[in-house]
A and B are shown apart, each in its own frame.
Chain A
Amino acid sequence: MIKKIEEYLDRLKKELSGSDPALVQDALSDAEEHLRTAIREELEKSPGLSETDVLQTQIAKYGSPHEIASAYRDIESRMLPTFAAQKSKFPRSFWAKLFGVAAQSRTWSAFLYVFLSALTSLIFAMWVLLGGTFSLISLVLIIGIPVTGLFLLSLRGIALLEGRLVEALLGVRMPRKPIFVRQGLNWRQKYKALATESHTWKIFAFLIMHFPLAWVHFVVEFVMFAFSIKSVFYPVWYWGLGRPLITIDQPFYPPAWSYPLVTLAGIALFFASLHLAGFMGKIRGRFAKYMLVRK
């Protein structure tokens, strides 16, 4: 017999243990929203009933924690993100792994993430630094309290947005819904919950750390990729434009006999840059998951 919503949520969480944390966050948020809204509506209709009684009928309608958990797990197995890493049925040879990376859509989606995240991380980090400083300063005045609250709320929105991008491009399951906020609480309780929750501060830390990470990766990736294209086509580049291969202090013109080598090195660099994008995509996906999903 479940007497309180918190108890229901605890049991649901236990039932879902071992599942993906992003799925757990979505399932708990769904259940809480559904039950709380239903109970409030029922109590408005017939105020004489006790909350526990209403909860019983609503749980019977919605499903027991066990039923709900198995329903979510069942759905989840069919809705993996598009670019999720999947184990191939057949063992692939070393060469297939080395060069197959260019034909995998998830490599290119991770590659695109490198470019897009340079921009998003800049915008988000600016918002965090400027908004954070501003709300910190405004705390001197009484108006600073709501300003800081709004700022912390905006971090959650950013986490959801970044999560959507990470899931779309890196294939890591991230929360798909905003976290449900109880309507019954008063402002002070909501505020306290927001400011004391480690989730909020983990997002804050993520957005600050993500900026240098995204930019270092972007620069390395861009230089590697652009230079690999230049090397592959260097003979054309030289005969057409007469430009050097690379300029470090002095322009360097490789001798004509080495052109095949330059092209080969360019091909190797091209695949290295794709492997880097894929590898970093995995790591950055894990990092985002660790920091942006509520525990």
Chain B
Amino acid sequence: MCKDVRDYLIKLKKELGEGTDRALVQDALSDAEAHIRTALEEELAQNPDTSESEILAPIIAKYGTPSEIAAAYQAIEPHIFPLREQQPRPDTRSFFWKFFAVLADSRAWSAFFYMLLAFVTGILFGGWAILGGIVSAGSLIFIIGLPLFGLFLLSIRGIALLEGRLVEALLGVRMPRKPLFVSKSLSWSDRYIALVKDKYSWRSLLYAVLLFPLGFIYTGLFSLLFVFSLIFITSPVLELVFRVPLDLFGDNVFTPVWFLPVVCAAGLLLLPVTLHLAKLAGKLHGRFAKAMLVKK
């Protein structure tokens, strides 16, 4: 029996258990809270003299007990994971084959694209977090600064959701799919305090600020590696057909012809290495995003 909505949510969280993905827990809790609170408010508006705990029981009976809801979410989760997890079969392919198979790995390429796009998101999200943060924090000396700062923190939550969608789409890490539910029955000041006190807002802000330099590093590093491997691979064509010196041994110097196959082979090795690195960086960044952008 649940006393109030908070009790229900705590039980649901317990039912979902430690092993469940945290992004899934956040979505499930947000869904349940949105549903139950909205239903409660509608009921209370119709019969104002009933108490909250009285109406809660039928609403929960309709929606489902915490254990039912937890089971339903867990049952559905394997079907809604966006990028297929790697087959659990043991990978018996040779090292050589595994090394080059990354060229056909859609996860590696999508992580590579995340890295290429990171500077755009870094500039937009990080720029907003830094500029907006400075302006709204500075405006706090006036009274108008209070709502401005609240709006700014709200926008950071929006950015966290948006970045989460990108991270899930390209890095394959399950991230929250829904905005956090905010009860409409709370007063403005309560909502404001909840927003400011919530560590989630501050972690998201920190993430957005860090994305600014990280985006440049990712995009710079991976576009450089990629371009170099392309130039190396096509070096025989560039030097012998188009007569463009690669300047490998000083200014305006052509590579010795006997050395070109070596350069070409180096490029052929560098390309899979770049993709392996992108996959690794994607994995690490995905973990970082999950730690920062999912409510604990």
Contacts and interface: CB of A to CB of B under 8 A. Distances in A.
Contacts of B83: 164, 176
A120 B117 contact: yes
Interface string B70-84: 000000100110111
A161 B179 contact: no
Interface stretch (B4-12, B57-65, B162-170): B162-170
Interface residues of A, number: 25
A168 B80 CA distance: 13
A83 B165 contact: yes
Among B166, B168, B178, max chain A CB count under 10 A is at B166
B110 interface: yes
B106 A105 contact: no
A215 to B, nearest CB: 14
A82 B82 CA distance: 13
B126 to A, nearest CB: 13
Interface in A128-176: 157, 160-161, 164-165, 167-169, 176
A282 B88 CA distance: 38
Chain B, interface SS category: helix
Interface in B71-115: 76, 79-80, 82-84, 106, 109-110, 113
B162 A116 contact: no
Contacts of A168: 165-166, 168-170
A105 B162 contact: yes
A191 interface: no
Nearest to A171: B165
Interface stretch (A107-115, A195-203, A205-213, A257-265): A107-115
Contact of A164 (B79, B121, B161, B169): B169
A168 B164 CA distance: 9
B287 interface: no
B38 to A, nearest CB: 10
A108 B158 contact: yes
Interface of A: 75, 78-79, 82-83, 105, 108-109, 112, 115-116, 119-120, 123, 157, 160-161, 164-165, 167-169, 176-178
6 contacts: A115-B120, A161-B110, A164-B82, A164-B169, A164-B170, A168-B169
